[in-house]
Structure 1
Amino acid sequence: MTGRLVELRPLDRAHLDGLVEAVSEGDLWQTAWYTSVPAPDGVADEIERRLALQEKGEMVPFTAVDHAGRILGMTSFYDLDDTVPRLHIGYTWNRPSAHGTGTNAESKLLLMTHAFETLGVFRVGLTTQWVNLQSRAAIERLGAKQDGVMRAMSRYRNGALRDSVEYSVIEPEWPAVKATLQARLARHS
């Protein structure tokens, strides 16, 4: 999937060095205790984890790359359910220098366009942590609606209980969400 600012390539082991460089920028994995961003020495394991889930049909992982060929980060389709049909977009992180450049918004536009217009899903979900205000604001700027808060859903790396916030975009909302994202991206030209 290729946009004006970013290309989403199927995750490949060959992306390891670029992903380590991306996660090392600004010590991204240490910037917030509540993130699941891997440390540089954990990137290879994270690639293997995502590829194993892909092999089982549970995830479709991507590497985000800018048009200069610089690897920005990772994102995925997951929680795939053909009976609805629905999926989630997540497990996303991008190097700090990519924040605010429009690449994440364009990545979401590419992923949602593929989900709604190619895969024919009815619902795209996005989940983040209650305490991750930056992620919540970004999801809301996408045009997703908050469905609810699930309390004590899992644990963070430090053992604290995690509350998750669930958002979604459903197919009837997609044209308006798409137009809003395209208008936002026009400002980055």
Structure 2
Amino acid sequence: MALAARGRYGPRAVSDARPWPSPLAGSLTGAIVRLEPLAEHHVDALFTASRDPAIWRWMRAYPASRASFDAWIDDALRAREEGSEFPFATVRVRDGVPVGSTRFMALRPEHRGLEIGWTWLGPAAWRTGANVEAKLLMLTHAFDALGCMRVELKTHAENQRSRDAMTAMGAWFEGIHRKKQLVPGIGVRDTAWFSIVDEEWPAVRRRLRARLAAHG
């Protein structure tokens, strides 16, 4: 039985949450990147792509050794096995080379919500449209395939580049969680929270498509 809920966007039908598929996603393919479920065969290329310390400045301690990077990969794969996250390798379409990673996380099918996070790209993929297209692919899957009503994004409050990118796509700034966590290699982190809800998704999709078109 559906219940009526009223909020900022007016009446909404609320029904029992429909189950999400398992696995949560297959490969999500665009013109610039293909998001492939993270696997062992991606790891060598991802390690090579991850060597610039600037990638990790706002995320975690720089994984300087192969052992520390492999431990990060193992954590990502374990999270997928446990069903709490779904990590991808971001693969460049033109040559099939993995250039970064991203994931669905904070999965809440009962509330039709999730987070997009742990996103990074090697410098060779910066300013190529790879991140814009990856967000478009993931948001399309979240809203159109999974039926999400809310997608969250967050970043270190001092990471202005990331905050500007979220604002540019049309995500709603929700505020700062002060002293949200302690991050190894970074210290105390204030976290800036953003969200996109289903009513906003068509406008966000148009913005992302326009930005991709600008990349030619």
Uncovered stretches (5+) of structure 1, i.e. residues with no partner = none
Instruction: Name the residue aligned to 1:74.
Output: 101
**How far 1:69 sits from its partner (Å)?**
1.2
State whether structure 2 residue 157 is matched by structure 1 residue 133: no
Per-residue deviation at 1:29?
4.9
Matching residue within 54, 59, 63 for 1:35: 59
Q: What fraction of aligned residue pairs are identical, expressed as a percent?
A: 38
Q: Which residue of 1 aligns with 2:116?
A: 89
Aligned partner letter, 2:169: L
Contact in 1 for aligned 2:88/2:102 (Cα 8 Å)? yes
1: CA distance, partners of 2:186 / 2:202: 40
Amino acid in the other structure paired with 1:162: R
Paired residue secondary structure (2:110): coil
Residue 182 in structure 1 maps to residue 206 in structure 2: no
Quickly say closer, same or farther: Cα 1:40–1:109, change in 2 above 3 A: farther
AA in 2 matched with 1:39: A
Distance change >3 Å, CA 81–CA 100, structure 1 → 2: same
Change (3 A) 1:12 1:118: same
Q: 2:90 — aligned with what?
A: 64
C-alpha distance in 2 between matches for 1:40 and 1:75: 20
Which of 143, 150, 158 aligns to 2:170? It is 143
* Distance in 1 separating the partners of 2:137 and 2:166: 15
Separation of aligned partners in 1, 2:78 and 2:108: 18
Q: Give CA-to-partner distance per residue, 1:131-171, whole Å, 9 cap, x none.
A: 11111111111211101110011012246311001100000
Residue 87 of structure 1 contacts residue 123 of structure 1 at CA under 8 Å; is this kept in 2? yes
Whether the aligned pair in 2 keeps the contact of 1:73 and 1:92 (CA below 8 Å) is: yes
Instruction: Verify: 1:114 aligned to 2:138, yes or no.
Output: no
SS in 1 for 2:111: coil
Report how far residue 27 of structure 1 moved: 3.9
TM normalised by structure 1 equals 0.93
Q: Is the 8 A contact 2:35 2:91 kept in 1?
A: yes
Aligned length: 186
**Which range is displaced more, 35-44 or 125-134?**
35-44
Matched, 1:103 2:130: yes
Corresponding residue of 2:150: 123
More helix by share: 1
Q: C-alpha deviations, 1:66-87, integer Å up to 9, x for none?
A: 1111211010000000121100
Gaps of 5+ in 2: 1-27
Q: 2:189 matched to which residue of 1?
A: 162
2:75 to 26, 40, 49: 49
Tell me, in whole angstroms, the C-alpha distance in 1 between the residues paired with 2:181 and 2:64.
20
Partners of 2:194 and 2:212 in 1: CA distance: 21
Partner of 2:20: none
